[in-house]
């Protein structure tokens, strides 16, 4: 089969022929249909410190994907119950493989497993014709979730996990970072009934992507943070006490500072954006205003998946808004162009079609 692999230590990837995987005990084999590019894949391409610590030469990469089950390994249940996996099921996949033994796993907090390994990072991934994954990680999707939407369920799950850290109905929500996940979180906040949703970025093309997503869906205030004062904006919106909830999706110190300066007393912050370096925070303001700060990683297994599927099934306009975030589509043989688009800083979600990969 064809697969995109890390051929050796150092920058670069290679599309090559490799043996088809065989599902092991409690694993399933999936024919990959569509796969999404993530910042992690760019790190692996460039071979930074993160990649060097996790990826082995010869390993297949890729972790955001949708496909069809084509084989069940030994130990995977096979009967007529509705909750059993079947050949032909169309699925998304949770990319974090857990140990099942640590305290968090045994306590049901699987997303906090201390021995997590990641598909496409620590083990072979889905930029390939076929991939094998633990049956536990498979999420069967309904027909309304097509291969393209299913391929971006991983980042959509990040947005869902972040957005539902706190109640949103009737709240004023401030979101920094209008990348695809930031826009997804704004869509969710609007879907959940937030009063004002303000989404900021420093690049107009990111805000244009958000504008397209919200066209015909619902009101959101889009702000270039380099030209608009957030305190003035609050006054224009009739807000007297500051934002109730904030999502930091950019990893920018300046964005975090803007949140801390514009949150009401007792405000709540969910942080998904990863900073490139440690940075200073005004802890006096955090303490005296009694802010709550929650770090968010991945998806809550599997409550986030239930929530993500359910809210998309409840709203066709939300599904269509989410689809606008897919800005580039490439066949597998044009994977280099896909990486160039994803690395340009001007793309939304980039998909690679593996359904006809020889």
User: Which residues participate in catalysis according to the annotation?
Assistant: 40, 43
3-state secondary structure of 2: strand
Q: Please identify which residue in the block is written with the tokens 């009401």.
A: 264
Burial-class residue 358 by CB neighbours within 10 Å (0-12, 13-18, 19+): exposed
- Say how many CA atoms lie within 13 Å of 303 toward its Cβ: 9
**Cis-peptide, bond into residue 302, ω within 30° of zero:** yes
Q: In terms of Cα–Cα distance, which of 86, 85, 68 is closest to 32?
A: 68
Which backbone phi and psi does 254 adopt, to 5 degrees?
-65, -40
Taking a C-beta distance cutoff of 8 angstroms, is the pair 156, 94 a contact?
A: no
Radius of gyration of the chain from its Cα atoms, rounded to whole angstroms = 21
Question: Which two three-digit tokens encode residue 296?
Answer: 């968010």
**Strand partners of residue 329:** 351
For 162-291, strand residue ranges (E) read 173-176, 197-201, 221-224, 243-248, 263-271
Residue 3 Cα distances to 174, 231, 358, angstroms = 41, 50, 11
């Amino acid at each position: 089969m064809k697969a995109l692999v890390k051929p050796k230590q150092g920058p670069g990837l290679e599309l090559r022929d490799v043996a088809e995987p065989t599902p092991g005990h409690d694993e399933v084999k999936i024919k990959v249909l569509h796969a999404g590019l993530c910042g992690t894949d760019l790190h692996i391409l460039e071979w930074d410190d993160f990649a060097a610590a996790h990826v082995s030469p010869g390993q297949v990469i890729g972790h955001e994907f949708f496909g069809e089950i084509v084989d069940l390994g030994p130990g995977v249940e096979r009967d007529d119950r509705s909750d059993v996996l079947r050949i032909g099921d169309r699925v998304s996949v949770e990319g974090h493989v857990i140990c099942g033994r640590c305290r968090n796993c045994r306590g049901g907090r699987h997303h906090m497993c201390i021995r997590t390994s990641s598909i496409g990072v620590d083990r072979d991934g889905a930029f390939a014709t076929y991939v094998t994954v633990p049956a536990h990680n498979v999420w069967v999707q309904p027909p309304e979730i097509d291969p393209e939407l299913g391929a971006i369920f991983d980042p959509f799950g990040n947005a869902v996990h972040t957005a539902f850290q706190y109640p949103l109905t009737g709240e004023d929500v401030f979101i920094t970072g209008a990348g695809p996940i930031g826009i997804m979180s704004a869509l969710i906040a609007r879907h959940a009934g937030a009063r004002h949703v303000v989404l900021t970025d420093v690049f107009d093309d990111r805000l244009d992507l958000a504008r397209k997503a919200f066209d015909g869906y619902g009101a959101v205030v889009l702000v270039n943070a380099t030209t608009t004062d957030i305190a003035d904006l609050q006054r224009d919106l009739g807000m007297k006490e500051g934002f109730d909830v904030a999502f930091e999706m950019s990893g920018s110190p300046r964005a975090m500072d803007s949140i801390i300066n514009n949150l009401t007393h007792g405000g709540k912050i969910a942080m998904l954006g990863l900073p490139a370096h440690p940075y200073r925070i005004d802890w006096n303001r955090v303490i005296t205003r009694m802010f709550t700060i929650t770090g968010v990683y991945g998806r809550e297994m599997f409550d986030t998946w239930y929530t993500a599927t359910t809210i998309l099934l409840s709203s066709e306009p939300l599904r269509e808004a989410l689809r606008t975030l897919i800005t580039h589509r490439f066949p597998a043989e044009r994977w280099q162009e896909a990486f160039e688009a994803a690395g340009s800083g001007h793309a939304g979600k980039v998909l690679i079609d593996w359904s006809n990969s020889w």
